[in-house]
């Protein structure tokens, strides 16, 4: 028996919500209206949808609001590093580190629509890869709040921006974030997803980041929450000449996580660096879909995604690389490496390269294996107990990604989270 989730089924609840939001933020009403009308024509994608083949988001959708029973997973401690802290709960910015100087602004997106329309108008929802699929439309129509960050030309955000998302307070959260980095601006930002509410929930989170010439953004993402929180996380970076977008994502918990990470390299020497480490247990599921669009010549991208899957957990990696006709002398590297700890764990990995330029260096590779038995025996033969030997090997495997975290305090925090899980 399959219950079709028709748009009608969701519209009663959601249309009320959408009307409230439109009324509360008049500046966004028209935009929301257009999206909502399109949304009514669409359905939550099923696994028949090419982009959702291995991730059954429909079954997640159907469970929303249901009780998850006992929550056993103890919540991870928060990162305590030196940072400008922002907290979102129930889709609202509840602890606004609202800062506004001549050099930078960090505030809620809601507020930005009142105060900084001039700055955001040209960028909000303008990313070329932001297409009208179900979750984008849902977010366009229903985003409740999020962050607005602007850094002036040549300036650097003096502290790491730490964004704590407390999920699960509402069944469905739609948050929206916009980063504007002017020429030569720099910032480091870390997203933390936490939450241990006892209901099945979904967080639909869209971030757009616009990096002007010479700008650089380091973006860390850490997910380590309870086993019934799910997430569709989309990040779109627009990278101009010499600018550098750098993302390291750790998925260490949660139920279903779908990540779409996309960088459009629009100016010469623009760079995108995507690194990911996934460690899943139980029947958790993580789907990384990446897109690097090399539009300008001499652009560079580097992707390394590593995964360790235990229990019946499952991973998906789909890496699209486009090299447009003008993007000569492009370098693009992609690698996906997986360790499956049990016969029930699985990974679906697929590189998708579309290259229209001829003078390019592109490479991609995927490896899937078990824990190295010879290495395990070697360690045990030296007296190291099996569990500890396993942890040591997994940590070594993960270390390569961890080393890409440039913030020492954050790296230490993440290492501790990994060690908790590996031992």
| CA–CA separation, 95 and 88 (whole Å) | 7
Q: Which is nearer to another protein, 1 or 381 (CB)?
A: 381
- Backbone φ and ψ of 71, nearest 5°: -100, 115
DSSP-derived 3-state class of residue 15: helix
Tokens 């977010």 sit at which residue?
139
CB of 388 to another protein, least distance (A): 7
CB of 29 to another protein, least distance (A): 53
Beta partners for residue 201, in sequence order: 229
Query: Sign of dihedral through CA atoms 363, 406, 195, 18?
Result: negative
* Candidate segments 57-65, 159-167, 260-268, 371-379, binder of another protein by CB under 8 A: 371-379
CB of 282 to another protein, least distance (A): 26
Q: Which is nearer to another protein, 70 or 374 (CB)?
A: 374
CB of 380 to another protein, least distance (A): 4
Q: Which is nearer to another protein, 69 or 383 (CB)?
A: 383
Binding track, positions 376-415, relative to another protein; x by CB under 8 A: -xxxxxxxxxx-xx--xx-xxx-xx---------------
Q: Report the DSSP pairing between strands 104-108 and 201-211.
A: unpaired
CB of 372 to another protein, least distance (A): 8
Q: Which is nearer to another protein, 175 or 336 (CB)?
A: 336
For another protein, which residue of 94, 375, 411, 415 counts as binding (CB under 8 A)?
A: 375
- Structure tokens, 108: 């809620």
* Sheet containing 300-309, strands listed edge to edge, beginning at the edge strand earlier in sequence: 92-95, 83-89, 160-166, 186-194, 216-223, 244-251, 271-280, 300-309, 330-340, 360-369
Q: Which is nearer to another protein, 33 or 372 (CB)?
A: 372
| CA–CA separation, 201 and 66 (whole Å) | 8
CB of 302 to another protein, least distance (A): 19
Residues that contact another protein, how many (by CB under 8 A): 22
- Check: CB of residue 187 under 8 Å from CB of residue 158: no
For the chain, the C-alpha Rg in angstroms (whole number) is 21
Render the burial of 63-88: b for 16+ CB within 10 Å, e for the rest. bbeeebeebebeebeebebebbbbbb
Binding track, positions 325-364, relative to another protein; x by CB under 8 A: ----------------------------------------
Binding track, positions 86-125, relative to another protein; x by CB under 8 A: ----------------------------------------
- Structure tokens, 223: 């997910």
In Å, what is the CA distance from 263 to each residue of 70, 124, 146, 207, 317? Answer: 39, 16, 21, 12, 16
Q: Which is nearer to another protein, 14 or 277 (CB)?
A: 277
CB of 376 to another protein, least distance (A): 9
CB of 400 to another protein, least distance (A): 7
Q: Does 369 bind another protein (CB under 8 A)?
A: no
CB of 381 to another protein, least distance (A): 5
| CA–CA separation, 56 and 47 (whole Å) | 6
Q: Which is nearer to another protein, 228 or 306 (CB)?
A: 306
Q: Which is nearer to another protein, 9 or 396 (CB)?
A: 396
- Structure tokens, 212: 């002007």
Q: Which is nearer to another protein, 184 or 276 (CB)?
A: 276
The one-character DSSP state at 313 is: -
- Check: CB of residue 238 under 8 Å from CB of residue 209: yes
* Candidate segments 139-147, 223-231, 305-313, 373-381, binder of another protein by CB under 8 A: 373-381
- Backbone φ and ψ of 262, nearest 5°: -135, 135
Q: Which is nearer to another protein, 304 or 360 (CB)?
A: 304
CB of 383 to another protein, least distance (A): 4
| CA–CA separation, 285 and 282 (whole Å) | 9
Tokens 């049990």 sit at which residue?
342
Site residues, another protein (CB under 8 A): 372, 374-375, 377-386, 388-389, 392-393, 395-397, 399-400
């Amino acid at each position: 028996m399959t219950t079709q989730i028709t748009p009608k089924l969701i519209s009663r609840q959601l249309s009320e919500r959408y009307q409230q939001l439109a009324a509360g933020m008049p500046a966004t009403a028209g935009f929301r209206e257009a999206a909502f009308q399109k949304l009514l024509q669409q359905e939550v994608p099923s696994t028949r949808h090419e982009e959702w083949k291995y991730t059954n988001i429909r079954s997640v959708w159907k469970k929303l609001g249901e009780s998850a029973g006992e929550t056993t997973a103890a919540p991870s401690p928060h990162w305590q590093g030196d940072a400008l802290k922002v907290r979102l709960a129930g889709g609202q910015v509840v602890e606004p580190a609202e800062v506004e100087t001549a050099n930078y602004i960090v505030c809620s997106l809601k507020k930005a629509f009142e105060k900084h329309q001039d700055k955001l108008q040209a960028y909000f929802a303008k990313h070329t890869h932001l297409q009208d699929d179900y979750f984008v439309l849902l977010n366009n129509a229903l985003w409740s709040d999020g962050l607005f960050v602007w850094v002036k030309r040549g300036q650097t955000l003096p502290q790491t921006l730490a964004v704590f998302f407390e999920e699960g307070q509402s069944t469905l959260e739609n948050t929206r974030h916009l980063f504007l980095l002017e020429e030569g601006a720099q910032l480091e930002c870390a997203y933390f997803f936490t939450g241990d509410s006892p209901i099945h929930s979904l967080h639909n989170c869209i971030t757009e980041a616009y990096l002007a010439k010479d700008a650089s953004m380091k973006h860390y993402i850490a997910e380590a929450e309870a086993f019934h929180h799910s997430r569709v996380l989309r990040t779109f970076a627009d990278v101009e000449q010499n600018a550098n977008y750098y993302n390291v994502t750790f998925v260490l918990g949660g139920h279903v996580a779908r990540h779409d990470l996309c960088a459009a390299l629009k100016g010469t020497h623009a760079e995108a660096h995507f690194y990911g480490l996934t460690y899943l247990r139980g029947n958790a599921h993580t789907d990384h879909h990446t897109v690097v669009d090399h539009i300008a010549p001499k652009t560079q991208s580097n992707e390394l995604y590593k995964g360790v899957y235990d229990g019946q957990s499952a991973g998906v990696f789909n890496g699209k690389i486009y090299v447009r006709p003008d993007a000569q002398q492009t370098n693009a590297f992609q690698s996906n490496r997986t360790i499956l700890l049990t016969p029930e764990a699985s990974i679906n990995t697929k590189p998708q390269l579309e290259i229209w330029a001829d003078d390019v260096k592109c490479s991609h590779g995927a490896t899937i294996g078990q824990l190295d038995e010879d290495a395990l025996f070697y360690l045990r033969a030296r007296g190291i107990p099996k569990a500890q030997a396993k942890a040591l090997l997994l940590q070594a495997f993960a270390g390569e990604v961890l080393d890409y975290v440039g913030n020492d305090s954050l790296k230490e925090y993440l290492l501790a989270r990994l060690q908790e899980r590996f031992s």
